[in-house]
Amino acid sequence: MEKLYIKKENLKKNLRLFDCLVVAFSGGVDSTFLLAVAHEVLKEKVIAVTSHSSLHFNEERTDAVRLAKKIGVKHIIINSNELSLEEFCLNTHERCYICKKNLFQEMEKVINIAKVKSAVIVHGANMDDLDDYRPGFRAAEEFNITAPLITAGLTKAEIRKLSQKMGLETWNKPSMSCLATRIPYYTNISEKLLVKVAGAERVLKDAGFEDCRVRYHGDVARIEISASSFQKIMQVNIRTDIIKKIKEIGFIYVVLDLDGYVQGSMNRMRI
């Protein structure tokens, strides 16, 4: 724990260098921890900004609003409107870059309108994110947006441990990602498709599978859950209920991926 304490103190030391912080806040494990520590250091000089977007479950935004209020920071909701961007909807391997660039542009507009002086935008990426395909990092670099958790050398597991020690309810919250990550590259993204994927994933969550994904492959819904949950999902009553409900949403085939839940698994199909 001493090593973790040192990393947290380094994080706080780095955050003290800023006059005002604007945190890209999703309400997930990483951004909640970053926001809480930033508020601990800078108090009222911290602003949380959350995107209202079709790319996320509605409850994620609701959760973000509640958490920001609980932490005690000013919270601004912006409409990022990714689906109005043709280049985003084309869903190339640059999708994540386009999305983040748009988000950061909207955040800068908020700062300019609010006339917040010396404001610096930060986001909650951690060390583990460096191992995945993350074109959004390029957008962050272009806008000079830093990731304090990476600077402090913090991994997801370490952030969870520190969050638990701080009493943050998000310490064991399942990882979240935008719904576009469920769709193969070069399959056009639309509101209808996002609703379909979200609906199928909601079926799994309602059945008690929190850490799950439903990947879209045309008529096929490919379910990813942890291997430890395989036995549960194969129980006849649970399996048949899930199949029935996902088919009612519009899928013809419902399959279980024996690899289990793999973060960023659709990047295997990257061209």
Q: Assign residue 31 the CATH number of its domain.
A: 3.40.50.620
pLDDT confidence band for 268 (50 / 70 / 90): low
Chain centroid, CA 61 distance in Å: 11
- What does R_g of the chain's alpha carbons equal in angstroms? 19
Domain match, 167 and 189 both: no
- Over residues 41-48, the mean pLDDT reads 96
Domain match, 116 and 197 both: no
- Give the domain-ending residue among 147, 172, 197: 172
Domain match, 157 and 123 both: yes
| Burial group, residue 215, by CB count within 10 angstroms (0-12, 13-18, 19+) | buried
Give the least confident one: 37-46, 54-63, 72-81, 260-269: 260-269
Q: Which CATH number characterizes residue 244's domain?
A: 3.30.300
- Over residues 223-250, the mean pLDDT reads 98
Q: Tokens representing 137?
A: 């990092």
Domain match, 163 and 216 both: no
Compute φ and ψ for 146, nearest 5 degrees: -100, 165
Domain match, 187 and 71 both: no
Domain match, 188 and 168 both: no
Domain match, 200 and 156 both: no
Entry pTM = 0.91
Domain match, 29 and 141 both: yes
pLDDT confidence band for 132 (50 / 70 / 90): confident
Domain match, 154 and 191 both: no
Q: Which of 84, 86, 111, 88 is nearest to 99 (CA)?
A: 88
CA distance 252 to 218: 9
Return the number of other C-beta atoms located less than 10 Å from residue 81's C-beta: 14
- Over residues 149-156, the mean pLDDT reads 97
Domain match, 141 and 233 both: no
CA angle 92, 173, 237 (to 5 degrees): 85
Whether pLDDT at 270 is above 60: no
Q: What is the pLDDT of residue 269?
A: 62
CB 52 within 8 A of CB 46: no
Whether pLDDT at 271 is above 90: no
CA angle 33, 38, 40 (to 5 degrees): 95
Domain, as residue range, for 243: 179-269
Domain match, 53 and 143 both: yes
Domain match, 196 and 148 both: no
